[in-house]
Structure 1
Amino acid sequence: MTHPIQHPTDALRLDDPKALADPQATWDRLLERYPEGLAPVFLSKGVPAWLMLTPDVHQQVLQDPGTFARDVDHWRDLHNGVVPENSPLRAIYTKRRNVWNADGAEHKRYREIVVRALSNISQNEIMAHIDEVVDRVVDTFCTEGRTDLVTRYAGVVPLLVLCRLYGMDAREGVAVCSAQRQVWDGTDDALHVHAQLQRRMTALVERRRAAPGRDLVSELIAAGLDDEEIRDHLTFITAAAHEPTAHTIAHALWLLLGRKNELVQLNSGRTVREAVNTSLWHAPPMHTLIGRFATRDAEVGGRRVAAGDCLVMGFGPAQQLLRRDERLDTETNRAYMIFGLGPHACPRAGRDLGLALAEKAVQRIDRRLPDMVLVDEQWQGVSAGRLSGVESLRVAFTPADRIYEGAPWQLSASQSTPETSTETRPRTPFTRRGRWLRWIWGE
């Protein structure tokens, strides 16, 4: 099936890990080839899109929701056969009743509800949740003397904090965290576990309707959302908050541990904030994100974008271009692109929560394990084409005592999982990334 605008055959494929193994070099090539800021790309074989490269193009597109909508119904190729029936993109972009998928008045209503719900939770309570989760997670490995800070720390702390904010008790939060790791790891029963997680979210909403508490779910219920809307919002908030925060924690720790030889003290709040800022500028958790669909023909970056075309946000190339300005201080400036622009930008309450969680997690583990050193000097990252940005960060330290009495939390998937079921467990050919994204945006 033909496309209104024929992309060159050598256009970048965003699902090709080899093409994005060196993101900085890739973005430099695209910025040189398409200096006006819009590059033709393929999301997968035969599925065309436009990648936004410059801040100016992002401003034009993201500040004009009338021309560039979030509603996937405007994506022509999702409905005319260009996106294959078996493509993970179809699962990723199933329409959901949450703030991410809505436009106009519906989006404004959802956004106001979410912002109010987050703002109504006490900041002292949030900080207490973070402190407890961090200490309990550190307790799971502090006596061992060695660990991987990605899989056993950064990769679990944000999700566990979110579970607490949703109103889950410790046991349920640990079970959800363990099960969610199965989904993200793309195990054969990932979709089955995902279905269990969805039922857990629905059951949580039902419990909070009967017995409200001081938590996010109770706030969403009080705002008038129905069970499906709350479940879809919890699914989106979890996806939007966990992975970027986990990546930032891991990368900031890598930066700071590498500078310990310079006598940099991680306990300094300023030093931690600088490391978090630097991480977000130089190694954004997401280099690209499918984000807008043209509602009518428009001129963008010197090119004609046709109604129904898909546009991809390019946080990686846009921030790389901004970093060329020598006046930009990446240790203190917080105007990163990854929080978005326009009506769909991450609200300040959500941004501040993510940054506070990242900073607290970095600073507190150093207080618990002050002599941590890197076992591997090389940063173990993955290509820009994958949303997950971290694979491994191995450290050694002097074994330390646990803070909490009793058995530590069991965070491995084999030790703590949601209840089993007699249902047939579905198996799919999707890659780990496809399965993980499938959970993010709903099945």
Structure 2
Amino acid sequence: MNAHDNTPVPPPGCPAHGSGGRVPLYGPDFAADPQAYYSFLRHYGPAAPVELAPGVEATLVTDYAAALQLLHDSGSFRKDARRWRAFNEGKVSPDSPVTPLLAYRPNCMFADGAEHLRLRQAVTDSMARIDMRRLSRSTEQVSRYLISQFAARGSVDLLGDYAKQLPLFIFSELFGCPADIGDRVLFGISGMFDGINADKATEVLYQAVGELVTLKRSRPGEDVTSWLMQHQARLTDEEMVHQLALLLGSGVEPLRNLIGNTLHRLLTNDRYAREGGLIDEALDDTLWENPPVSNFAPHYPAADMEFAGQQLQAGDLVLISFAAANTSPAQTEARRSGSNRAHLAWSAGPHVCPSKEPARHITVTAIEELFNRLPDVHLAVPEESLTWRPGPFHRALTALPARFTPVGVPRGTAPQAATAPQRHEEPGPAPKPERTGMWSQFLRWLTR
């Protein structure tokens, strides 16, 4: 803070110096120490002006109470991204790197009112039908398979070879993907989030999901796709495709980051033991202090208004900083005497994450499996050498290298094939993904 006025001073190296006070939430400096940026942003009050990418302006809510107020006020703040004024006026390019996650799609995340209630109820009811015992078996199977791929080496990138891969397999099973469709779903989601050939990856994902919908119309099963299709909301095929793409995409990326960030906490903090309920404790602390989605929940004021100390115009882009709200000084103090699960990592209000319980269950099971099978796993590099992926929305490591005592992988240890996902041949020709079919490989391993 400047000693002669009340103008906040940006952190050293922050490009906000000379930028009119709008703080950029991208680049290596922000990725390396986002909490320094959040501390600076709090000088503006409960909300602050930020830049998500060059030329993409937004208001970021950093206060816990203000965030809760906004998330529950669906009258004043809307989710339909077709209200985004800067985008409609051509000030934000469709080619901007943040546009794919902010631009309108016909799914429950971008819906308001009765349409949101209809789509969201179908999603919530379908996700509620997931059997946690079956989910545990599936997570154990996938964990053992992935561990078997590196157990004999004695070294592994726990992010790239484990945390990043596991959600892809779990969601393919939950949504009833047969082998070839599952291969293309995995290819599509990976490409979209990795930014590698993203246009082709998006095309492959939506085509694969479309084929999955066609398949399940004629051959339903015990899976989220079939339950969503059978819901009384009577979703059309187009609505099915967009809800499934949302659930698969928004489920996989945050879950891989949650697993990776929780493993990072366990491997870099001596106060956690690798057994019993302390994995749950590490998970809760991660959700408070290092949530996998740090800044998101886009909203748009329905009319010109003042909110959290900022003047907003109708259609302005407003985001919630879950990371800043969770770690604000007032909330840190309240946390000591309150619930350890009152964080905002899952968001809140009518758009709260519908899969928070499955995500928590998968994370704990996957970490328990890893530590049970590789009990001496430890970080292979100094903690300060780890790097974080740049970007305004997520909190994600680039890698988490670890070492352990190599172990043999005896043959014939796969679980019984009766719990394996059903296999179907999808109708019509399908283009092959540009990588080895990971889902097919897993199914072969499972039944050998």
| Runs of 4+ that moved beyond 6 A | none
Instruction: Work out the CA distance in 2 between the residues paired with 1:291 and 1:172.
Output: 31
Deviation at 1:233, TM superposition (A): 1.2
1:198 and 2:219 aligned: no
Partner SS, residue 376 of structure 1: coil
- 1:141 corresponds to: 150
Instruction: Work out the CA distance in 1 between the residues paired with 2:48 and 2:25.
Output: 12
Q: Deviations over 1:358-401 (max 9, x none)?
A: 11111111111112121113143334635251111111112223
- 1:73 corresponds to: 82
1:360 and 2:365 aligned: yes
- Which of 402, 405, 420 lines up with 1:398 in the alignment? 405
User: Alpha carbons of 1:301 and 1:332: their partners in 2 closer, same or farther (altered >3 Å)?
Assistant: closer
Instruction: Work out the CA distance in 1 between the residues paired with 2:145 and 2:338.
Output: 30
Instruction: Work out the CA distance in 2 between the residues paired with 1:330 and 1:131.
Output: 35
Tell me: higher relative CO, structure 1 or 2? Use CA pairs within 8 A at least 6 residues apart.
1
* Residue identity opposite 1:13 in structure 2: P
- 1:373 corresponds to: 378
Instruction: Work out the CA distance in 2 between the residues paired with 1:394 and 1:330.
Output: 36
Deviation at 1:232, TM superposition (A): 1.0
8 Å CA contact 2:27, 2:391 repeated in 1:
no
Partner SS, residue 51 of structure 2: strand
- 1:244 corresponds to: 254
User: Alpha carbons of 1:97 and 1:56: their partners in 2 closer, same or farther (altered >3 Å)?
Assistant: same
Q: Deviations over 1:212-261 (max 9, x none)?
A: 1000000011012122212111211122222222112122222223356x
Partner SS, residue 328 of structure 1: helix
* Residue identity opposite 1:24 in structure 2: Q
8 Å CA contact 2:183, 2:437 repeated in 1:
yes
Instruction: Work out the CA distance in 2 between the residues paired with 1:203 and 1:388.
Output: 32
Deviation at 1:277, TM superposition (A): 0.9
Deviation at 1:179, TM superposition (A): 4.8
Deviation at 1:162, TM superposition (A): 0.8
More divergent stretch after superposition (250-259 vs 106-115): 250-259
* Residue identity opposite 1:227 in structure 2: D
| CA RMSD between the two structures | 2.8
Instruction: Work out the CA distance in 2 between the residues paired with 1:377 and 1:308.
Output: 45
1:230 and 2:237 aligned: no
Deviation at 1:26, TM superposition (A): 0.9
Instruction: Work out the CA distance in 2 between the residues paired with 1:21 and 1:382.
Output: 9
Instruction: Work out the CA distance in 2 between the residues paired with 1:92 and 1:252.
Output: 24
Q: Taking structure 1 as the reference length, what is the TM-score of the superposition? A: 0.83
Instruction: Work out the CA distance in 1 between the residues paired with 2:331 and 2:31.
Output: 20
- 2:228 corresponds to: 220
Partner SS, residue 289 of structure 1: strand
8 Å CA contact 1:134, 1:364 repeated in 2:
yes
Instruction: Work out the CA distance in 2 between the residues paired with 1:206 and 1:330.
Output: 51
More divergent stretch after superposition (305-314 vs 14-23): 14-23
Deviation at 1:135, TM superposition (A): 1.2
- 2:67 corresponds to: 58
Partner SS, residue 338 of structure 1: coil
- 2:444 corresponds to: none
* Residue identity opposite 1:289 in structure 2: F
- 1:427 corresponds to: none
Instruction: Work out the CA distance in 1 between the residues paired with 2:404 and 2:337.
Output: 30
1:44 and 2:65 aligned: no
Q: Which runs of 5+ in 2 are unaligned?
A: 1-17, 415-432, 441-448
Partner SS, residue 299 of structure 1: strand
1:15 and 2:22 aligned: no
Q: Taking structure 2 as the reference length, what is the TM-score of the superposition? A: 0.82
Instruction: Work out the CA distance in 2 between the residues paired with 1:353 and 1:80.
Output: 40
Partner SS, residue 140 of structure 1: helix
* Residue identity opposite 2:213 in structure 1: V
- Which of 18, 30, 39 lines up with 2:41 in the alignment? 30
More divergent stretch after superposition (224-233 vs 378-387): 378-387
Deviation at 1:142, TM superposition (A): 1.2
1:415 and 2:422 aligned: no
* Map 1:55-134 → 2, pairs under 5 A: 55-134=64-143
Partner SS, residue 168 of structure 2: helix
The percentage of aligned residue pairs carrying the same residue is: 28
Q: How many residues align?
A: 402
